[in-house]
């Protein structure tokens, strides 16, 4: 039986330092292929560097809400927040990213697909950003029960659904052997007090294996650049401490209780 | 003649239970279903009632469950009902906080620790202080709600405080800040606040005014209608399954006896529909 390894890179949020470290790790492990899942910009500095790197390395991927908004000239990120404080910080991120992303990359973002279907060893894999049905839907572990995920796998005719957007990685194997994976993000830490970020390796052979891989990167350099770009101190604190300080109100009870703020 | 827009049923994500019927231990002047100690329009749901709908919900792939009333903790089976629900998915309970005794809070804590899914408590406040809160909710209510919040804090359950627009200045930054400070004063270091508009039906119709004839949705694209919660929710009461948590005193909003019977479009012909539409309301947390 052939075994296929697929590297999945969730939201990058302009963290090109983490992207470089992730790509090096993927190369070292010799993955068969790698895909990005959208939200290339936001939060971090110098938003041209991520699309530049992805294009240069020939990595394929899909649109997130950020790419949809930037390529269509929208005035906000359509992140899906409802709380005023969440929206306040989301707007700072978006305005900075929109202003500092070249038109050529915005146009390229507009050409990215909303979803991708892969097939490995007869398994149908669907890559999405928020969820297969909605680009900015948040799929959290504690609010994505199995019956709901099963319905989604049925509706979208997939054996493996992959998403990102929420920022926290998780994996559920359903009773019928199908899988739903939130690949996490490499843009900011996972609100766990560690400065590392996470990407996902999917191995499809006789069975399906999902590994979440921690990536250490030069977060000090990222923090310095964010300061130089006058990005909010709250964002920098997250990079330096591993705890989320903004865009938290959207977290369900369990995920909120696990963080410091 | 105006055409009435219909909301499609996109997918049943959110299932509500009118778990205490319209029975409540207090009588708020803004209650859109006029819940009170004597209002038996909708009855209590039993554990068996809830379990029957949970079985159906599992087949339909429902994502999350909400419990309201009346006051849900007046239902003596509330803890077993939550235990059954949390085996299947995340749950939220809307409460006035007055019945959150220490023993109940400890049981809630155990449920939270035992489930892989989130349990949220939403506690309603209508003022920053006794005077403003009790003016809406009745004498002595503030005191008991404060005890309930302290009991939650003791077992480290961080509630979402829900405030309606009846609270003075709640839409301003200053008003929000005052509420957030109040929440922090209980020792909740991660204050959570949700603001809801008022519906001009039930008791609220008498407190302020009823909907005017012009307060109706006239034109709408089907894709726009998908932002309305009724495109993805239904409400179970002792009388049947209704379109949403708001319209349970509107007989035409009863869509069937089972969930499956209600998975069809609904005409948005009511004043409350206008509020949801213009305010972008979601009763979800």
Q: Which residues of A touch B116 (CB under 8 A)?
A: 141-142
Q: Which residues of A touch B15 (CB under 8 A)?
A: none
Q: Which residues of B touch A259 (CB under 8 A)?
A: 190
Nearest CA in chain A to B85: A145
CB of A246 within 8 Å of any CB in chain B? Answer: no
CATH code at position B195: 3.20.20.70
B151-180 pLDDT, tens per residue?
999 999 999 999 988 887 888 888 899 999
Residue A121 near residue A4 (C-beta atoms within 8 A): yes
Yes or no, beta carbons of B59 and A147 under 8 Å apart: yes
CB of B161 within 8 Å of any CB in chain A? Answer: no
* Residue A9: alpha-carbon gap to chain centroid: 6
CB of A114 within 8 Å of any CB in chain B? Answer: no
Contacts of B187 (CB under 8 A, 6+ apart): B153
CB of A82 within 8 Å of any CB in chain B? Answer: yes
Total structural domains within chain B: 1
DSSP for A42-81 reads: SSSS-TTHHHHHHHHTT-EE---HHHHHHHHT-SS-----
Give pLDDT, residue B2: 66
A39-87 pLDDT, tens per residue?
999 999 999 999 999 999 999 999 999 999 999 999 999 999 988 899 9
Give pLDDT, residue A235: 97
Q: Look at residue A34 and give its three-state secondary structure.
A: strand
Q: Where are the domains of chain A?
A: 4-258
- A vs B: CB pairs below 8 A: 67
CB of B88 within 8 Å of any CB in chain A? Answer: yes
ipTM value:
0.94
Assigned CATH topology for domain A4-258: Purple Acid Phosphatase; chain A, domain 2 (3.60.21)
Yes or no, beta carbons of A145 and B63 under 8 Å apart: yes
Contacts of B42 (CB under 8 A, 6+ apart): B18, B21, B22, B70, B237, B238, B239, B248
CB of B282 within 8 Å of any CB in chain A? Answer: yes
Virtual CA dihedral for B224, A247, A166, B7, nearest 10 degrees?
A: -20
Residues A24-38, mean pLDDT to the nearest whole number = 98
CB of B26 within 8 Å of any CB in chain A? Answer: no
Residue B28 near residue B138 (C-beta atoms within 8 A): yes
A252 — pLDDT class (breaks 50, 70, 90): very high
How close B242 gets to chain A, by Cα (Å)? 21
B56 lies in a domain?
yes
Give pLDDT, residue A102: 98
Domain of residue B131 covers 10-216+230-264
Yes or no, beta carbons of A143 and B88 under 8 Å apart: no
Residue with tokens 């708001």: B246
B222 lies in a domain?
no
Yes or no, beta carbons of B117 and A145 under 8 Å apart: yes
Percent of chain A scoring above 70 in pLDDT: 100
Q: Look at residue B12 and give its three-state secondary structure.
A: coil
B272 lies in a domain?
no
CB of B119 within 8 Å of any CB in chain A? Answer: yes
Separation in Å, CA B121 to CA A33, A35, B224: 44, 39, 30
Ranges in chain B, pLDDT < 70: 1-2
């Amino acid at each position: 039986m052939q075994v296929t390894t697929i590297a999945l890179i969730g939201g990058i949020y302009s963290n090109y330092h983490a992207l470089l470290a992730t790509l090096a790790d993927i190369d070292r492990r010799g993955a068969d292929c790698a895909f990005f899942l959208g939200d290339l910009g936001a939060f971090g500095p110098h938003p041209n560097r991520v699309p530049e790197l992805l294009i240069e390395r020939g990595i394929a991927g899909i649109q997130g809400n950020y790419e949809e908004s930037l390529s269509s000239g929208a005035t906000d990120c359509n992140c899906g927040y409802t709380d005023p404080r969440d929206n306040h910080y989301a707007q700072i991120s978006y305005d900075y990213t929109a202003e500092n992303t070249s038109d050529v990359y915005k146009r390229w973002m507009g050409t990215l697909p909303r979803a991708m279907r892969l097939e490995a060893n007869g398994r149908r894999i669907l890559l999405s950003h928020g969820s297969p049905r909605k680009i900015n839907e948040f799929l959290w572990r504690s609010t994505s029960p199995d019956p709901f995920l099963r319905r989604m796998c049925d509706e979208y005719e997939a054996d493996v659904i992959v998403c990102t957007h929420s920022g926290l990685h998780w994996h559920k194997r359903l009773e019928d052997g199908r899988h739903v994976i939130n690949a996490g993000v490499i843009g900011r830490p996972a609100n766990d007090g560690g400065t590392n970020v996470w990407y996902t390796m999917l191995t499809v052979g006789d069975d399906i294996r999902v590994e979440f891989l921690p990536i250490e990167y030069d977060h000090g350099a990222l923090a310095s650049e964010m300061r130089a770009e006058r990005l909010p101190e709250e964002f920098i604190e997250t990079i330096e401490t591993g705890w989320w300080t903004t865009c938290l109100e959207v977290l369900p009870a369990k995920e909120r209780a696990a963080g410091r703020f | 003649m105006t055409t009435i827009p219909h909301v499609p049923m996109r997918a049943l994500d959110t299932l509500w239970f009118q778990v205490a019927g319209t029975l409540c231990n207090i009588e708020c002047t803004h209650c859109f279903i006029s819940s009170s100690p004597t209002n038996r329009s909708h009855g209590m749901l039993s554990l068996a009632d809830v379990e029957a709908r949970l079985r159906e919900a599992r087949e339909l792939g429902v994502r999350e469950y909400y419990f309201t009333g009346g006051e849900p903790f007046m239902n003596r089976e509330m803890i077993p009902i939550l235990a059954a629900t949390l085996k299947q998915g995340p749950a939220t309970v809307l409460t006035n906080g007055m019945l959150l005794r220490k023993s109940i809070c400890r049981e809630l804590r155990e449920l939270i620790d035992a489930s892989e899914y989130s349990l949220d408590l939403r506690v309603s406040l209508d003022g920053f202080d006794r005077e403003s809160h009790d003016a809406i909710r009745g004498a002595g209510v503030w005191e008991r709600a404060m005890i309930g919040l302290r009991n939650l804090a003791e077992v480290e359950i961080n509630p979402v405080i829900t405030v309606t627009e009846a609270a003075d200045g709640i839409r301003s930054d200053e008003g929000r800040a005052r509420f957030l400070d109040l929440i922090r004063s209980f020792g909740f270091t991660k204050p959570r606040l949700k603001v809801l508009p008022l519906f001009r039906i039930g008791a609220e119709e008498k407190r302020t005014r009823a909907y005017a004839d012009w307060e109706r949705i006239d034109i709408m694209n089907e894709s726009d209608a998908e932002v309305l919660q009724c495109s993805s929710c239904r409400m179970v009461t002792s009388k049947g399954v209704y379109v949403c948590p708001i319209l349970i005193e509107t007989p035409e909003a009863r869509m069937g006896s089972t969930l499956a019977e209600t998975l069809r479009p609904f005409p948005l012909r009511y004043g409350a529909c206008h509020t949801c539409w213009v305010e972008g309301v979601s009763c979800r947390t």
